[in-house]
Structure 1
Amino acid sequence: MPGRPAARLAPALAVAMAVVLSGCASFSGDQGFSAVAQATQERIGQQGKLLRSDEDHKALAGLLQEQLKQPLTADGAVQIALLNNRGLQATYWSLGIAEADLVQAGRLQNPAFGYKHTQGGGDTSIERTLGFNLVSLITAPLASRIEGRRFEQAKLAVAEQALKVAAETRRAYYEAVAAAQAHEYALQVRDAAEAGAELGQRMQKAGNWSKLDAAREQAFHGDALAEALRSGKQVNASREKLTRLLGLSGAESAFKLPPHLPELPSAVQEVADVEQAAMRNRLDIQAAKLETGHTASTLGLTRSTRFINVLELAAVRESATGQPRERGYEITLEIPLFDWGSARVARAEAVYMQAVNKLAETAANAQSEARESYHDYRASYELAKHYRDNVIPLRRQVSQETLLRYNGMLASTFELLADSREQAAAVSAYINALKEFWVAQTNLEAAMGGKGANK
């Protein structure tokens, strides 16, 4: 009978739909942000927060008020950036987009209901259809798995971006502190040079100095003034860069910084194998691996559906005036007469090989960056240590001896001023070397995937 196939088909459809729907993904409470928070906590000892409500914003405002009461620390700056950087908050919300795609992939396409009503010659014909897309029904589990991998990849990408912002903030913090410290010293040198230039003019007028000696002091004063202006520009630029990373504005941008950089640690950090640490901990490598796996899964889906572009099943019920009602089903299948799907498969294979090569490039770059950063870290430490333990003490000793000789009338004023110029250059070089060390340490931690990467 015509009604029996449809009657037998309906339970089968109901069972299949129930199986698929039972495996549908649902929305999590935090859009997967807990995984991001855990990843950053493990690597840098700090985590961000997705600002969802007014209460979250009020809590952040209270934290900012408390943090900005005192001179900002490097860790404090990173904490503020992870919470208050608006670009990073926008990245956090990409998790919601990825999770919505995952949930959507696990849901069936809505059925299509058709109704046809015709009249003619005194007869009325009514046709009703209820159709389901069988391709979406068959491929829903695989599509859910693919979107699940994409969601995991999104978590890694968000966590990686958080680590990048944290590292950039730490570098900007050291640069801002170093710029302020160098500017303060440049102002002291400028004032001393101004006094030296004035003294030179007086001694020249008294006939105790030549024009060359006086001109030399005038030139030093001009250079010192230029350096003070240049360092002032650097203070403003570096501070504004840090302000942008912290997401501060208005009165908040008047935060305080410590007067000088942290001192060198007692010893350099030893890392047994920086390349292995980078391969084990870097999130960009893990994300590239997931991307390759996702592409491979997509290739499998393309192959399985290369000949089935449209496959729909519809239950049909038709009635006409004076005729018994008819029931049945209708299957619509696209015939691969012109397009056999080979182009789609070839494209998927090319995309997969592209992902494989990108993964290899990411791994090679990570190893190189780790080696370079570790070498730079150790060299920067040795350079700053050399200035601290050798150059600066020697310059201080020379200055003291020169002053003693000057007081004993064994050295001229010119020698005293020349020594001051050399000492100023040494101190400025030490400040710069100390800044380069802290930046190098930040770069090393980033290249290895975080502070705890070598543990």
Structure 2
Amino acid sequence: MNRTFHPPLTSVAVLASILLLGGCASFSADGGMTDVSALTRERTGQVVERTRPEDAAARDATLDPLLAQPLSADTAVRIALLNNSGLQASLSELGIAEADLVQAGRLRNPGISFGRLRGGEDVEIERSIMFDLVGLLTMPMRRGVEQRRFEQAKLQAAADAVKLAADTRRAYFTAVAAQQTVQYMEQVKDAAEAGAELAEGMARAGNWSKLEQAREQAFHADATAQFARARHNANASREQLTRLLGLSGKRTTYALPDRLPELPQAPRDAANIEAQALQQRLDVQVARRNADATASALGLTRTTGFINVFDAGYRNKSQSGSPRSNGYQVELELPLFDWSGAKTTRAEAVYMQSVHRTADIAVRARSQVREAYSAYRTSYDLARHYRDEVVPLRKKISEEMQLRYNGMLASVFELLADARTQIASVNASIEAQRDYWLADTALLQAINGSGDSPLALRGPSSAAE
């Protein structure tokens, strides 16, 4: 016997309402990238975009003009934020978090059952459709938890972008300083080679002792080794920058400036740097949101702790020789063995863990920014000392030695010996200037970014399980 299933109009209305509530969640237009880009721009001055394979042509059109001229630090950061594949992989976490948010706003799919029994001339048919009522009742709370997680994911993505910007600036200044050192060490090597050749000629003529000749040859050999080492360091520093920029092929031939940027006229002010760090640092913001999300997840755990599964739905039964009967069916999980006490206790422990972690991150942030400023100010004073005191004095000594040589009061070898004494001072000056820019980058990261450890997003996910 075949019968057609005709649910009553009230059941149809309830079904339509549930479907409407369960399907209202949708994805945002930008996937959270507007907020991430704004957070990154506030801290680095550069925007960040999520690119796809089909955006390659537009990305290349932006990259090529930037790479056509010697890179500045800001240009290098812009290229890295646009072209670094590791950052793009990190930004994909936004899509995962938003998918979880959308999923939290949708009901679990209903279950439909159909049964048919036949004995002799009698046919009995049962039909039912079940809906997750607990999921419907707790949907706002679940969406709240996932919304907080989505906000955390935005902060994490911005933190990754800020860290990449800082790493790129460090690699940039290191590469420029290494290239500047290579240029200087090449000049030293050429001068040492000329001195060694002159010493060899004068030794053959009997005007130079073997000891003095050996000293010039040793200086030449040492200068040659230092030049080779400096050249390798320059290549390694450049490759590190290239990796951060995400470049390959012909694009690796980009040009760098010959010298590091000049020091600013005055150092940064230390006023309110701790307050700025607590307000601006992304790891502090993530920790705070993590604690809020964990607290929300704890509320959800308590709400669903007693009833884990509660399904209700429409049921219809047809039997041969009898009128069709309609009704409802309820399925409830009985807490006979698991009263969810362990789950609630675990959620409370996870919440306290997130609270203490937030306090720890705040203490670390204040300490790190003080330490970073101390390194910044020391490196600024040292770089200025070399610029204003050491290098000018060495230059004056060199000029005086040149005057003595022109007046035939000093030999060419005395002139070369004076040049050797300048090597350490010039190299130290380059390193001091490089260290200043590295310390400046570290200070900005300590104020705006995060510490050395990655931002933790643990807590809410495990508390709600």
TM, length-normalised to structure 1: 0.93
Counterpart-to-counterpart distance in 2, 1:106 and 1:265 = 53
Distance in 2 (alpha carbons) for counterparts of 1:357 and 1:211: 72
Matching of residue 282 in structure 1 with residue 281 in structure 2: yes
Deviation at 1:85, TM superposition (A): 0.5
Secondary structure of the 1:207 match is coil
2:38 corresponds to 1:45? no
- Paired residues for 1:333-412 under 5 Å: 333-412=332-411
Distance 1:385 1:203 in 2: 42
Say whether the 8 Å CA contact 2:195–2:216 is kept in structure 1.
yes
Partner of 2:255: helix, strand, or coil? coil
3-state SS of the aligned residue for 1:325? strand
1:227 is displaced (CA, Å) by: 0.8
- CA drift of 1:205 comes to 3.0
Comparing 374-383 with 351-360, greater Cα deviation is found at 351-360
The CA distance in 1 between the partners of 2:364 and 2:243, in whole Å, is: 29
2:18 corresponds to which residue?
A: 17
State whether structure 2 residue 186 is matched by structure 1 residue 187: yes
Amino acid of the structure 2 residue aligned with 1:43: R
Letter in 2 for 1:33: M
SS of 1:90's partner is helix
Q: CA deviation at 1:21?
A: 4.6
Query: What SS is found at the alignment partner of 1:423?
Result: helix
CA deviation map 1:176-208 (0-9, x unaligned): 111111001111101111111222223333333
Q: Which amino acid aligns with 2:442?
A: N
Per the alignment, residue 169 of structure 1 pairs with: 168
Paired residues, what number? 443
Q: Is the 8 A contact 1:102 1:144 kept in 2?
A: yes
Q: Secondary structure at the match of 2:115?
A: strand
* 2:456 counterpart residue number: none
CA 1:150 to 1:279, structure 2 compared with 1: closer, same or farther past 3 Å?
same
Provide the rounded CA distance (Å) in 2 between the counterparts of 1:409 and 1:66: 54
Contact conserved, 2:195 with 2:413, CA < 8 A, in 1? no
Query: 1:212 offset after TM fit, Å?
Result: 2.6
Correspondence 1:309 to 2:308: yes
Distance between the aligned counterparts of 1:197 and 1:365, measured in 2? 55
SS in 2 for 1:253: helix
Secondary structure of 2:138 counterpart:
helix
- Tell me, yes or no, if structure 1 residue 33 matches structure 2 residue 27: no
Listed one character per residue, the Cα deviations across residues 51-84 of structure 1 (whole Å, up to 9, x for unaligned) are 1463x32221111111111111111111111111
User: In the alignment, what sits opposite 1:332?
Assistant: 331
Give a deviation string over 1:85-131, Cα, whole Å, max 9, x none: 11111112221111111111001112111100011122110000010
Cα deviation, residue 7, structure 1: 7.2
CA contact under 8 A between 1:160 and 1:284: conserved in structure 2? Answer: yes
> How much has 1:348 moved relative to structure 2?
1.1
Using the alignment, how far apart are the partners of 1:17 and 1:124 within structure 2?
Answer: 32
Match of 1:3 in 2: none
Would you say the 8 A contact 2:32–2:154 is kept in 1? yes
Provide the secondary structure at the position in 2 that maps to 1:272.
coil
Q: In the alignment, what sits opposite 1:453?
A: none
Q: Deviations over 1:373-428 (max 9, x none)?
A: 11111111111111111101100111111222233333344432221111121111
1:1-400 equivalence runs, <5 A? 10=11, 13=14, 17=18, 20-21=21-22, 24-52=24-52, 54=54, 56-400=55-399
User: SS of 1:115's equivalent?
Assistant: strand
CA distance in 1, matches of 2:404, 2:53: 70
User: Residue 197 of structure 2 aligns to a residue in which SS?
Assistant: helix
**Residue-by-residue CA offset, 1:236-290 (whole Å, 9 max, x unaligned):** 1111111111111110111011111111111111130211111010111111111
- Show CA shifts across 1:211-241 (max 9, x none): 3322222221111111100011111111111
The residue identity in structure 2 corresponding to 1:367 is R
TM-score norm. by structure 2 comes to 0.91
Aligned to 2:427: 428
Partners of 1:213 and 1:414 within 8 A in 2: no
Cα distance in 2, alignment partners of residues 271 and 401 from structure 1: 42
Deviations for 1:281-334, whole angstroms, at most 9, x for unmatched residues? Answer: 011111111111111111111111111122111221111111222222221111
- Cα distance in 2 for partners of 1:31, 1:327 equals 45
Aligned partner of residue 326 in structure 2, secondary structure: strand
Gap runs ≥5 in structure 2: 1-6, 450-465
Distance in 1, matches of 2:71 and 2:448, equals 25
* AA of the residue aligned to 2:216: E
Answer yes or no: is the 8 Å Cα contact 2:80–2:164 preserved in 1. Answer: yes
Between the aligned partners of 1:7 and 1:303, the Cα distance in structure 2 is 36
Deviations 1:115-157 (A, max 9, x none): 0001112211000001011111111110011111111111110
Q: 1:212 and 1:373 mapped to 2: Cα distance?
A: 49
- Answer yes or no: is the 8 Å Cα contact 1:181–1:260 preserved in 2: yes
